[in-house]
Amino acid sequence: MPRVDLPASLISLFKAARKVANDTECKAVILLAEAEYDFSEVKKLLRGIPLIVASHLPEVQDAVKVDEITLVPLNHEPQTRQVQLSQSLLEAIADDLVQTGDRVVAIYSGFERENLDTLSVINLSEHLARLTTRDLQRLETQVPLQTLRKVVDLAVEIGREGREAKKVGTIFVVGNHRKVMEMSHEGIHDPFRGYAKKEKMITSPRVRESIKEIAQIDGAFVISSDGCVMGSGRILDAPAEELTLSKGLGSRHWAAAAISKATNSIAIAISESTGTVRLFQDGIVVLRIEPMHQAMKWQDVEIEPPGE
């Protein structure tokens, strides 16, 4: 397979990346590649610093695999470089290649589309907090952003705080609530049953408090697209066939993945053991949020620079 030679300027960029990564304690170098470089050569230049290559191009992905380098395959057409970079970091976190809180060096074409010319040092915890709004916007095709934000905020709070010093895990299934109710059954007698819709909106602080209380009991919350709690304590019955999840995820996460696939909803699972929040869409993890010390900072969507 013919490979693109590394020009002298690029060799020096990789050497600089190695130095920056060492000096700033970066965990990995992420390369957004649009050409079939000699990735083994790049790896050699980095001398032991883990290399992750992200690309949406099948021929580049093949070259990365042949060179036995860690690949983050991007499925989408690139939008702006910034979005593509965010997506790569997110996928790398979701695949457990790097962790929230790590620092990484990213190399990409920031100035000219064809040339790898830019090196950034990215702190993933800061980045992830900023990334979340944008990423949720991508999920908005299925559930309105307003509802997703509220549920994710609540999930992160539950993961961080637990309840009365006890760790708490649960599942929220958002959107397509009729189908989700059909594909689940009552685990406990539902404390929300019998209340009028306007008394069960997740925008209400009282409802959010009740959710935190009920979250200690087994089962899932079913939330409608407009943010109403349609059911709680539900045991999800979607079949977990044809799903692949990271090792170490147990029955709660399998149930969340399966229901998101079977009902075209977004499932949000909070791990009782770690407090980690995972968003599932179409059976896979699309976003992972580690428990953070401060509350999530939502950026105002309107003030984001255009094209980001």
Give the footprint of ligand ATP on this chain (CB under 6 A): 169, 171, 218-220, 235-236, 249-253, 255, 271-273
Of the candidates 277, 233, 291, which has an alpha carbon nearest to the alpha carbon of residue 136? 277
Q: Which is nearer to ligand ATP, 17 or 156 (CB)?
A: 156
Residue 250: CB minimum distance to ligand ATP, A: 2
| Rounded least distance, CB 148 to ligand ATP, Å | 20
Residue closer to ligand ATP (CB basis): 85 or 268:
268
Distances (CA, A) of 253 to 239, 275, 308: 13, 13, 31
**Closer of 141 and 251 to ligand ATP (Cβ):** 251
Q: In the bound complex, which residue of the shown chain has the CB atom lying closest to ligand ATP?
A: 250
Q: Which residues pair with 7 in a beta bridge?
A: none
Residue 208 or 278 having the CB closest to ligand ATP = 278
Smaller CB distance to ligand ATP: residue 49 or 168?
168
In angstroms, the CA 289 to CA 296 distance is 10
Reference 144, options 230, 86, 223, 238; nearest CA is 223
Contact 117, 39 (CB under 8 A): no
CB atoms near residue 78 (< 10 Å): 16
- Nearest distance from residue 271's CB to ligand ATP, in Å? 3
Q: CB-wise, 72 or 220, nearer to ligand ATP?
A: 220
